[in-house]
Structure 1
Amino acid sequence: MKNQFIKLFSIAIVSAITLTSCENGFEEMNTDPNALTTPSPKSMFTLAEVYMDGQDYSNTRANNIYAAQIVQQFSSIGGAGSVYSYDGGYSGSLFGESYGKGLSQIYQLLSVLPNTAENSNMIQACRIMKVFMFQKLTDTYGEVPYFEAGKGYNGNIFSPKYDTQQAIYNDLLKELDEAGDALDASKPFVGNADLFYQSDVAKWKKMANSLMLRVAMRLSKVDAAKSKLYVEKAFAKGVFTSNAESLVLKHDASPQGVKTNPITSTWVINDLQNGEGSVKFSKTFIDLLKNNNDPRLRIYAKLEATKDNNPANQQGLANDAKEIPGGDIKLFSDPNTSTVLRTDAPTLIMSYAEVQFFLAEAVVKGWNVTGTAQQHYEDGVKAAMEILTIFGDKVPAVTTAEYNAYIATPGIAFDAPNALKQIGTQKWIVLLFNGIEAFSEYRRTGFPVLVPVNAPAGVTNGTIPRRLVYDQSELFTNGANYKEAIQRQGLDLMTTRVWWDK
C-alpha cells in the first residue's frame, strides 16, 4: 500500500504541476488541462483527497494561528487568534488555498471526466469532497463564490459572483443527498487511488450522510425545520457507526510537504524549537482535561524540552497572557510529538465521535433519531478516547477502567439539564487540530464557555470573533462581486456574523 501511495502521489504531483500552478486565487481554475497533457484521473483524484482538508499554508495560518487560538485550544503571546488582532495573510489563507488548490483540483478533475457509468462513483465522490471544502469556506467567511466558481474552464467566468450562505447551504444539502444516493457498489471506482476508504462505496455513503448531519446541524439556529429534516434524513440513510468508518487520511514521515501531515509537520520542523516555540496548549484546554483527570491528556500533551507527558506536570498558556509566566516558555505544554504531533500522524478529518455528539444533541432537541441522549453522549466520549490509537502505541491507550472513571466524574457524567454544554465541550476536545470546525461549532452552540480576551492589539473590542476576513486580493481581482457581498452580509470584519450564526 505504501509503494502504491508513493506511485500514485508522484503521478498526482506531476499532473498538478503540469495542469496548474497551484497558487492562490481563482486564476488557476481557468486553464484547460486537456490542452496541455493527457490527464490521469485516478492520480488527480488522489491529489484532490490530499488537498481536501487543506495544506500547511492554511492549516498553519487560518487553522492553528487563528481558529484554534480563538476557541482556546492553543495560545501564543500576542497571537492573532489569541488576542483577535488582524493579519491579512493569515486570515485570507484558507480562502486563497481552497480555491487555488483543493477546489481547483476538483474542478479540473470534473472537467476531464466523461459523465459515464464508469466514472459515476468518482464524480459522486468529487461532489462530496466539494461540499466538504465549500462548507469550511462559507463557515469561515460567510458569502463566497459558489455557483460560478470553477466556471473559467467552460464558462469563461473569471470573476465569479459571491452567493448567499443560505443558497450555498441549500445546495450543499442537495449535493450530499443526491451524490450519496448515486454511489453504486456495482460500478467501478478508483481502487487504491482512494486514500480514504480504498473505494469502499458503503463507507463513502456513510461519509456523505455523516457530512450531511454536520451540514444540517449547522442550520439549527437559523432554520430549525430544515435542520431537523436533514438530520433525520442523514440518520435514516446511515451515518458512521464505528471508529473504523471515521474519515482519516494517513501520512508518511517524509519527504516534508509531499506526504507529511500538513498540520503537524511545519509545527515540528519549524516552530516547535525543542519546546521554545511560541504556540502552546491553551490554559483553557489543559485545565479542563487536567481538572477532570482526563486520560487523554498524556496522549495529547508533552513538555517537549524534557519529554515529560505526565498529566500532573502539564501547564497551559493563558490566551490573555502578556508575557511568559515565570519567564520560561519550555514549562508550557506542547502537543505530543510521540503521538498527535508526529510528522506522519494521520489527519482525523471527521470522526464517529462527532457523529455521536450530533445525535446526542438531536435527541435533546426531540428529533427523530433512535437512542437516548445519554447513550450517544457516552458513546461519543468513549469513541473519542478509543480513536486515539491511530496515533500509535508510544503512549499507553486509554483503558476501559479509565473511561469508566472519567464518565462518572461529576460534571462529566451525563446531566440532562446541562446536556448541550456537556456535548459541545466534549466535541471541542475531539476537534483538537481541527480548529476551523471547532470555531464553527463554538459559534453555533456557545460551548465550551470561553472568557474573551480584551487586548490592545485586538480589533473586536474584546468580543470573540464571528468570522475571518476575506483574502484581500479579492478587492483587486474580483472587486465588484466582493463589494456586493459585503453590502448584503455586512462589513468585512471579524465581528460580522455569518447567516447561520444567530
Structure 2
Amino acid sequence: MKILKSIILALLIMSVGCDVDYFEDPNEPSTPPSSGVFNKAVQELVQDTRDVWFSGRFTLATMQMWQQSNYGDEDRYGYRESMRETWEDLYWNLENLRLVIELNEDEATAVQMSAYGTNEGQIATARIMMAWAFNLMADTWGDIPYWSYGDRDNAQFQALKLTSEEEILQPAYATQAAIYADIMSELAAAAAQITAAGEGFSEGDVIYGGDAAKWAKFANSLRLRIAVKLGNATEAADAIADGVFTSNADNAMFTFEGSDKNASPMYRSWNVDARSDFAISHQMVALLKGDNIQDTLGADITTNPFAGVADPRLMEYAEPNADGEYVGMPIAMTSAEATTITWESLPNRDNIIDKPDYASVLMEYAEVCFLESEVNGWSQTEYEDGITASMEKWGVAASDINSYIGTVPAADMENVLTQKYIALYMDGHTAWAEYRRTGYPATLLKPDVAGFPDGRPYAVFEPTSATYKYFIFIPIPAEITNELPTRMEYPDFESTLNTNNYLDAVGRLSDGNSLTSKLIWDTN
C-alpha cells in the first residue's frame, strides 16, 4: 500500500509539464520507471532553485551579482511570499527522490527497476541528490523537516512520510546540527555505495550519465563543502582523501534541453516570456574592473582586494550595453527609479540568457580548489588552480588566464574567498552561505556604512549624461540595519498547517522567524 501511494503521488507530480503518460488504465496507475522519476525530480530541483524567483530575485540579488531593472524590492530584501514557497516545491521533488529509493528496494518493483541501472547505484544517486537539496534548505531556513535513508528510524527525521504507512502530515523540524551531521554521513555512505555498485542510472541521469566515479566525487566534494562550513577539519580531510573533483570534467551540472519548453529558466524568461528584469550589478562590475565603489566625495566605500586589476571574466559574465560599455545596475531606491535606468549591462547573452541548453552548476571544481586552499591554510597552489578552473569553465583564453594570475595578489583569506565569490557567479545561494560564514567579499554594499543609518550615498557614472548619479541603499525590512539577511523566513502556511512544530523551530532561532536569525555556522 505504501509504494502504491508513492506511485500515485509521483504520477501526479510528473504529469505537470511532462509529456510521458504512465497510465495504462485511467483507474489503475502502472509503475513509473525510476529513471523518469529521477530525471523529473532533478530537473524540477534545478528549475526551482535556479529560476527568476529563488535565484534571480533572491540569491543573485541578495549577493549583488545581479540587480533588478524593473522591480527593486528584493534587491532591498523585500522578499515576496513566493520566494519562501519554494519550500513546498522542494519537498515535492524530495518525495520523488524517495520514491526512486522505494522502487529500487521493494521486492515487487526492484527487478523491473534494474532495467534502468543497478538498484544500489540508483539508490545511492538519489541519496546524493537528496543530500544536495536538504543542505540547500538547511542553509536557507535553518531547522527543517528532514528525512534520512541511512537513519530513517530516527524519531527526529519525520519528513517525506506523506505517503508512508506512518503518514506524518505534521513533521517535526530536525535541528541544524543533526541535519548537517547526517548529510555528511549520507554522502560518505552513498559514495561508497555507488562505487561498489559500479553504475548509477543507465538512463535518465542528465548530470553524469550514470558514471559512478563522478557521482562519488560529487558526494565527497559536497561533504567537503559542508565540513568546511561547520569547521570540521577531520571530516574535510576524510572527504578529500576519499576523492573530490580534480578538473572541470567533474563538475556537477544539469544541462537543459534546447527546446523552448524545457530550456533553462533564464532563457525562458528573456526569450519565451519576453521579459528583461535583471542586469549584472554595479558592485560585481566594479569588482571585476578592479574598482572600489565610492561615495559622493570620491571616498571608497568598499574594499576591492584586486584594485587596479581587470578580470577577463567580466566580458563572459556580462553583455556590453548599447554604447559598448560594461556598466552595472545599482540598487535602486524604488522600483520606479529602477525603470528609469537604461544604460545597464545585461547578463551575457551567449553564455547565459540566450542559451536554452545552459548548464546549471550544482557544484564545480573551482569551488573545491578554494575549499582545499582554505583547508591547507590559504595555499597558493589551490588558489591559482581555482582561478584557472573558473576562467577555463567560462572560456577565457589561456594567455589571459596566465596574465591575470601573474597580476593578482597572493593567496590569503580575503583573496581566496573573494575569488571564490567571483567563481560562484550564477550560484548565488552558495555565495550567500559563504558570505554569512566568512564575511567576504568586502565588496558588497551594506545599508549602514561608516555611520550612515540609511545607507551611505554612493556614486554611479551614468554614461548617457557623462555625469555621476547618486543612490542610497535603504532596506525595506525594519529589522535589517547594517548587514545582509542571514536566513529566509519560513513560509506563512507552516504556521497554520504545522503550528506546534513550527513554533518549536522558531523558538530555537536566535532572533525568531526573521531575516536576522543566524544559523549555527554563521559565527563571523
Smaller-chain TM-score bracket: 0.7 to 0.9
Post-superposition CA distance 1:138-163 (Å, at most 9, x none): 00010100111111222211111101
Q: Structure 2 matches for 1:209-288, cutoff 5 A?
A: 209-220=220-231, 227-256=232-261, 259-270=262-273, 272=275, 277-288=276-287
Q: Quote the Cα distance in structure 2 between the aligned partners of 1:188 and 1:456.
A: 50
Identify if the C-alpha distance between structure 1 residues 376 and 15 changes in structure 2 by more than 3 Å, giving closer, same or farther: farther
Equivalent pair of 1:354/1:427 in contact (CA under 8 Å): yes
Whichever of the two has the greater Rg, that structure is 2
Q: Structure 2 matches for 1:161-200, cutoff 5 A?
A: 161-184=172-195, 187=198, 189-200=200-211
Q: Quote the Cα distance in structure 1 between the aligned partners of 2:369 and 2:270.
A: 30
- 2:362 is paired with a residue whose SS is strand
Q: Quote the Cα distance in structure 2 between the aligned partners of 1:135 and 1:250.
A: 21
Q: Quote the Cα distance in structure 2 between the aligned partners of 1:320 and 1:446.
A: 24
User: Percent of counterpart pairs with the same letter?
Assistant: 30
Equivalent pair of 1:15/1:40 in contact (CA under 8 Å): no
Q: Quote the Cα distance in structure 2 between the aligned partners of 1:323 and 1:156.
A: 45
Q: Structure 2 matches for 1:63-212, cutoff 5 A?
A: 63-76=55-68, 79-90=72-83, 92-100=84-92, 102-114=93-105, 118-146=118-146, 147-154=157-164, 155-184=166-195, 187=198, 189-212=200-223
2:306 is matched with which residue? none
Q: Quote the Cα distance in structure 2 between the aligned partners of 1:52 and 1:137.
A: 11
Instruction: Report deviation, 1:278.
Output: 3.7
Instruction: Report deviation, 1:35.
Output: 7.2
Q: Structure 2 matches for 1:401-440, cutoff 5 A?
A: 401-409=399-407, 412-415=408-411, 419-440=412-433
Amino acid at match of 1:339: N
Identify if the C-alpha distance between structure 1 residues 488 and 406 changes in structure 2 by more than 3 Å, giving closer, same or farther: same
Identify if the C-alpha distance between structure 1 residues 132 and 219 changes in structure 2 by more than 3 Å, giving closer, same or farther: same
Amino acid at match of 1:270: D
1:351 is matched with which residue? 364
Identify if the C-alpha distance between structure 1 residues 88 and 246 changes in structure 2 by more than 3 Å, giving closer, same or farther: same
Structure with the largest fraction of helix: 1
Q: Quote the Cα distance in structure 2 between the aligned partners of 1:464 and 1:406.
A: 30
Equivalent pair of 1:145/1:162 in contact (CA under 8 Å): yes
1:368 is matched with which residue? none
Instruction: Report deviation, 1:18.
Output: 2.5
Post-superposition CA distance 1:215-264 (Å, at most 9, x none): 111102xxxxxx101110010001000101111111223132xx211344
Equivalent pair of 2:318/2:346 in contact (CA under 8 Å): yes
- 1:280 is paired with a residue whose SS is strand
- 1:377 is paired with a residue whose SS is helix
Q: Quote the Cα distance in structure 2 between the aligned partners of 1:70 and 1:136.
A: 16
Instruction: Report deviation, 1:422.
Output: 1.2
Equivalent pair of 2:145/2:158 in contact (CA under 8 Å): yes
Amino acid at match of 2:366: A
1:451 is matched with which residue? 445
Q: Quote the Cα distance in structure 1 between the aligned partners of 2:233 and 2:228.
A: 8
Give the TM-score, by structure 1 length.
0.81
Aligned-pair Cα RMSD in Å = 2.6
Q: Quote the Cα distance in structure 2 between the aligned partners of 1:489 and 1:321.
A: 31
Instruction: Report deviation, 1:50.
Output: 1.6
- 1:334 is paired with a residue whose SS is coil
Equivalent pair of 2:170/2:501 in contact (CA under 8 Å): yes
Instruction: Report deviation, 1:271.
Output: 6.0
Post-superposition CA distance 1:453-476 (Å, at most 9, x none): 341623313431101111111112
- Pairing partner for 1:20 from 13, 27, 31: 13
2:382 is matched with which residue? 376
- Pairing partner for 1:481 from 497, 501, 509: 501
Q: Quote the Cα distance in structure 2 between the aligned partners of 1:253 and 1:209.
A: 31
Instruction: Report deviation, 1:108.
Output: 2.2
Post-superposition CA distance 1:371-405 (Å, at most 9, x none): xx1010101000001112xxxxxxxx311211112
Equivalent pair of 1:185/1:202 in contact (CA under 8 Å): no
Instruction: Report deviation, 1:330.
Output: 3.1
Equivalent pair of 1:210/1:355 in contact (CA under 8 Å): yes
1:223 is matched with which residue? none
Amino acid at match of 2:33: S
- 2:51 is paired with a residue whose SS is helix
Identify if the C-alpha distance between structure 1 residues 278 and 156 changes in structure 2 by more than 3 Å, giving closer, same or farther: closer
Amino acid at match of 2:36: S
- 1:129 is paired with a residue whose SS is helix
- 2:253 is paired with a residue whose SS is strand
Give the TM-score, by structure 2 length.
0.78
1:289 is matched with which residue? 288
1:53 is matched with which residue? 46
Q: Quote the Cα distance in structure 2 between the aligned partners of 1:153 and 1:35.
A: 17
2:22 is matched with which residue? none
Equivalent pair of 1:176/1:208 in contact (CA under 8 Å): yes
Identify if the C-alpha distance between structure 1 residues 35 and 482 changes in structure 2 by more than 3 Å, giving closer, same or farther: farther
- 2:440 is paired with a residue whose SS is coil
Identify if the C-alpha distance between structure 1 residues 458 and 280 changes in structure 2 by more than 3 Å, giving closer, same or farther: farther
- 1:163 is paired with a residue whose SS is coil
Instruction: Report deviation, 1:68.
Output: 1.3
Equivalent pair of 2:266/2:352 in contact (CA under 8 Å): no
Instruction: Report deviation, 1:192.
Output: 3.2
Amino acid at match of 1:451: L
- 1:349 is paired with a residue whose SS is strand
Which 4+ residue blocks in structure 1 deviate beyond 6 angstroms? 14-17, 323-327
Listed as ranges, the gaps of 5+ residues in structure 1 are: 1-13, 24-33, 221-226, 366-372, 389-396
- 2:361 is paired with a residue whose SS is strand
- 1:494 is paired with a residue whose SS is coil
Identify if the C-alpha distance between structure 1 residues 477 and 35 changes in structure 2 by more than 3 Å, giving closer, same or farther: farther
Equivalent pair of 1:15/1:44 in contact (CA under 8 Å): no
Q: Which moved more, 1:181-190 or 1:486-495?
A: 181-190
